[in-house]
C-alpha cells in the first residue's frame, strides 16, 4: 500500500506535489518508517517536503537549506548560466541536497537534471563553501531561504545541453560579459577571485 502511495506521488507534476494538503501529508506519513519518509522527501523534493510538513506556517518559516552549485566552464573559458523559470534571473546550475546525499552526489544529480550534462566526482574541484546573509533568497511564492552552498568548478563534462522545467534558457557567457540580472552574484564573485588567484599562480 505504501509503495502504491509513493508511486502515485512520484507521477504527480511538481505543481501537484507543492499543492499536497498538510492533513493529506499527515495521513500519508502516519504509518511510514524512516526509510519510507526519506524516500517520500526525495520524491517531493526536500525543501518542498519540509514546507509541506509545516502546514499553515510553510511560507512564514525561514528555511535553512543545504545545496550545491557548479561553475561549468567550456573550452573557451566561458561559464554556463541558466535563466530561471521562477524569477527570470540568471543563476548557476545546482540545487538542494536531498536527505542522505553527499554534496558531490547532489551536484552530479542536479547538473544532470537541470542541464542534461554528465559529470564525474573526480573532475569536481571545490572552490569554497559560501554561507551567511549573502545566501538569503526570497522567491515569488513568498518562500524565504538561507542557503549553505558548496561551490564547485568543473571543465570536463559530456552530453547535449538541454533545459528542464526549472530553466527558460541556458547559455555560456564570457566572465567579463555576464548578464546584469543575476540570481547568484555572490557566488560569481567567489568564482572570479578563485579564477584570478589561479591565473596569478600560473603566470
Catalytic residues, by residue number, are 169
Residue 197 and residue 42: Cα distance in Å, rounded? 38
Read off φ and ψ for residue 194, nearest 5 degrees: -60, -45
Residue 41 and residue 95: Cα distance in Å, rounded? 15
State the maximum Cα–Cα separation within the chain, in Å, rounded to a whole number. Answer: 63
Q: Select from 31, 30, 49 the least CA-distant residue to 39.
A: 49
* 119: Cα within 13 Å, side-chain hemisphere: 33
What are the grid coordinates assigned to 77, written together? 573559458
Amino acid at each position: 500500500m505504501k509503495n502504491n502511495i509513493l508511486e502515485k506521488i512520484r507521477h504527480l507534476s511538481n505543481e501537484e506535489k507543492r499543492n499536497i494538503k498538510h492533513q493529506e501529508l499527515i495521513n500519508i506519513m502516519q504509518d511510514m518508517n524512516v526509510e519510507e519518509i526519506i524516500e517520500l522527501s526525495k520524491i517531493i523534493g526536500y525543501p518542498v517536503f519540509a514546507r509541506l510538513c509545516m502546514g499553515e506556517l510553510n511560507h512564514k518559516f525561514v528555511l535553512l537549506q543545504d545545496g550545491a552549485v557548479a561553475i561549468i566552464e567550456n573550452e573557451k573559458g566561458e561559464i554556463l548560466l541558466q535563466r530561471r523559470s521562477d524569477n527570470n534571473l540568471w543563476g548557476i546550475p545546482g540545487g538542494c541536497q536531498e536527505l542522505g546525499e553527499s554534496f558531490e552526489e547532489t551536484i552530479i544529480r542536479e547538473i544532470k537534471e537541470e542541464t542534461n550534462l554528465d559529470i564525474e566526482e573526480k573532475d569536481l574541484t571545490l572552490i569554497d563553501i559560501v554561507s551567511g546573509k549573502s545566501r538569503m533568497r526570497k522567491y515569488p511564492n513568498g518562500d524565504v531561504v538561507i542557503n549553505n552552498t558548496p561551490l564547485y568548478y568543473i571543465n570536463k563534462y559530456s552530453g547535449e545541453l538541454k533545459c528542464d522545467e526549472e530553466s527558460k534558457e541556458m547559455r555560456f557567457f564570457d566572465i567579463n560579459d555576464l548578464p546584469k540580472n543575476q540570481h547568484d552574484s555572490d557566488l560569481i564573485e567567489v568564482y572570479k577571485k578563485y579564477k584570478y588567484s589561479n591565473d596569478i599562480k600560473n603566470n
